[in-house]
A and B are shown apart, each in its own frame.
Chain A
Amino acid sequence: AQSVTQLDSQVPVFEEAPVELRCNYSSSVSVYLFWYVQYPNQGLQLLLKYLSGSTLVKGINGFEAEFNKSQTSFHLRKPSVHISDTAEYFCAVRTGGSYIPTFGRGTSLIVHP
């Protein structure tokens, strides 16, 4: 079964600083990768996804992620965070044969002024 590891449960950072949220998955022949954001008291919103093609994926709100097949990683980055980026971020992986993604435990991004 597919597994997703988000190594950091919490990432505190100051406003305008860069941030990287890490995600690793267990290897598979073909995977589709997603990052979701959950703002307080809201549902999950898709930030970005990798289905195929360029390994550098750009998403909403200035976020980007890079698919690294050899390291089985899909880390999320933003060069300069805002207070409004404070939220829970979930990495999810779906294999080619399933419509059901497996979610990581989430990383809480806390942006301080």
Chain B
Amino acid sequence: EPEVTQTPSHQVTQMGQEVILRCVPISNHLYFYWYRQILGQKVEFLVSFYNNEISEKSEIFDDQFSVERPDGSNFTLKIRSTKLEDSAMYFCASTGATLEQFFGPGTRLTVL
């Protein structure tokens, strides 16, 4: 069964450093998303991406964040200068014709 994959599973970084979280959505899906989940809190929408551009973003997704689909398979989330409060679980998701979202296993980002 096709699935969304994410790498790395755990990323530890120093405050102020740039990080890139990688996702490989399901191959025939067209909509891609990033969510985050701060420990003990709810899943929060960050951004959606369609047709090589951002279709929707939340207020969390400020200038420190960017997304890219550098090739036909990867979908990345970049945080330019990480802050302590960026520590969270980041989930990628993709959607196909059924509009059901399929989530990846997540990347745990720890900012020290």
Contacts and interface: CB of A to CB of B under 8 A. Distances in A.
Contacts of B100: 46, 49
Interface hub of A43, A100, A102, A103 (most chain B Cβ within 10 A) = A43
A43 B42 contact: no
B16 to A, nearest CB: 28
A1 to B, nearest CB: 11
B66 interface: no
Nearest to A6: B42
Contacts of B51: none
Interface string A94-113: 00001111111110000000
Interface residues of A, number: 17
A101 B48 CA distance: 11
B87 to A, nearest CB: 16
A90 B56 CA distance: 22
B65 interface: no
B91 interface: yes
Given A103-B42, A104-B42, A44 B48 contact: no
Contacts of B25: none
B95 interface: yes
Nearest to A102: B45
A45 B42 CA distance: 15
A99 B104 contact: no
A44 B42 contact: no
Contacts of B33: 100
B103 A44 contact: yes
B97 interface: no
B48 A100 contact: yes
12 contacts: A42-B105, A43-B103, A98-B56, A99-B56, A99-B95, A99-B99, A100-B33, A100-B48, A102-B45, A103-B44, A103-B45, A104-B42
Interface of B: 4, 6, 31, 33, 41-45, 48, 55-56, 91, 93, 95, 99-106
Interface of A: 36, 42-46, 49, 90, 98-106
